[in-house]
Amino acid sequence: MTSHAEAEMEERNFRAEVDVESVGEDEASESLLRLFQLFQIEAECNSSEVIPQDNEMWCSRNVLRKQRNWEKIVAAKKSKRKQEKERRKAKHIEGTEQQHSKRVLKAIMKERLLEAKHAGPRLCIDLSVSDHMTKKEISKLAAQIRRLYGANKRAAKPFWLCVTGLLVHSSIHEECLRMNDGFSNYLMDTTEEHYFDLFPLERIVYLTPDSKHALEEIDPQKVYILGGLVDENIQKKLTFQKACEQGLQTARLPIQEYMIKDGNMKNFHSEILAINQVFDVLAMYYKTGSWPEALKAGVPARKGFVLPGQQDVETKKMSS
Ligand SMILES: C[S@@+](CC[C@H](N)C(=O)[O-])C[C@H]1O[C@@H](n2cnc3c(N)ncnc32)[C@H](O)[C@@H]1O
């Protein structure tokens, strides 16, 4: 048998052997490589028949070069497939871990909330003051309740939340259901009742920006009340007067005690925050025990207050 015929037979055998579907891509590549090497042998044999002797060296170098290129391609493909396989495996593991850690985080969050329900502190959003709000203000309030609830869920030391005076079918109730996914399953209490019918009066502290008393600490035995109100046309002292009429303790955030007016803010300074911002301050204080840190985290710069020493930084920021 001639070398040409032998090579053809080998090729047929190999084609039968190299069934890519059944052996998998790695083996198929290796088999193809072997097949290719056979072709090289055949090519070398054939070329020695037709190419003159002085071309032999050039020819075999050319064949070797092609073979090396082919080997490189096969090796690169192989390593790419390996990398891809490892990437898929890592992604799968990561996905499983994420699902696992999501479940664990949810369980931790639930445990912390139930601990706060049992041991305090409690924070009520009083919706009995939300009567005269416009549609736009009601939407804003619903969004603030969602943010506050989300922040409380993420807090290392959460409060137990309670929404009081929430009348079924009222505009704010409808808006909360419409805008806040899963509102009816929020881990908090909602009731049509008023806070003063639910808790002993001596435990209630109504938080209001108009109070004369600065809040000094967060006492887990107390129930803190926030006025569920967005008043774009400020209803001055609304919650303060209400709390005074009910003979309740009141407190404001200690903004004046720990912050100074930012000289760059063209005379606009306001201590009135949205309920979710007040909550951010309370939650940070409850976690760190530091009012400067808490106020820095919760009081937006546009309110015109900064911590002493922060003013220089703010001035530099504005002038750059
Ligand atoms: C937008 S404010 C409403 C202000 C309204 N004029 C009032 O009479 O309360 C919403 C609620 O956040 C709370 N709040 C806002 N700023 C506060 C501050 N500096 N100190 C304490 N509570 C504050 C109060 O409970 C307030 O009712």
Contact 226, 275 (CB under 8 A): yes
Q: Is the CB of 215 under 6 A from ligand 1?
A: no
pLDDT at 241: 96
Write out the residue range of the structural domain in which residue 271 sits: 120-319
pLDDT < 50 positions in the chain: 1-3, 7, 14-23, 42-45, 47-49
pLDDT of residue 22: 46
For residue 6, what pLDDT is reported? Answer: 53
**pLDDT, tens digit, 9 for 90 and up, residues 268-279:** 889 999 999 999
pTM of the model: 0.71
Same domain, 236 and 314: yes
Residue 312 burial by Cβ neighbours in a 10 Å radius (0-12, 13-18, 19+): exposed
| Residue 304: HSE in the Cβ half-sphere, 13 Å Cα cutoff | 12
Number of the ligand 1 atom closest to the C-alpha atom of 225: 25
Residue 278, domain CATH: 3.40.1280.30
Residue type, 37: Q
Is residue 239 situated within a structural domain?
Answer: yes
How many distinct structural domains can be found in the chain?
Answer: 2
Ligand 1 binding pocket includes 271 (Cβ within 6 Å): yes
pLDDT in tens, 65-89: 999 999 999 999 999 999 999 999 8
Residue 38: how many CA atoms within 13 Å on its side-chain side? 19
Asked if residue 32 is part of any domain, the answer here is: yes
Shared-domain flag, residues 45 and 178: no
Closest residue to atom 8 of ligand 1, CA basis:
238
pLDDT of residue 157: 95
* 173 ligand 1 Cβ < 6 A: no
Question: Is the domain of 291 the same as that of 144?
Answer: yes
Q: Are residues 156 and 251 in the same domain?
A: yes
Whole-number pLDDT of residue 143: 98
Q: Based on the domain organization, do 54 and 137 belong to the same domain?
A: no
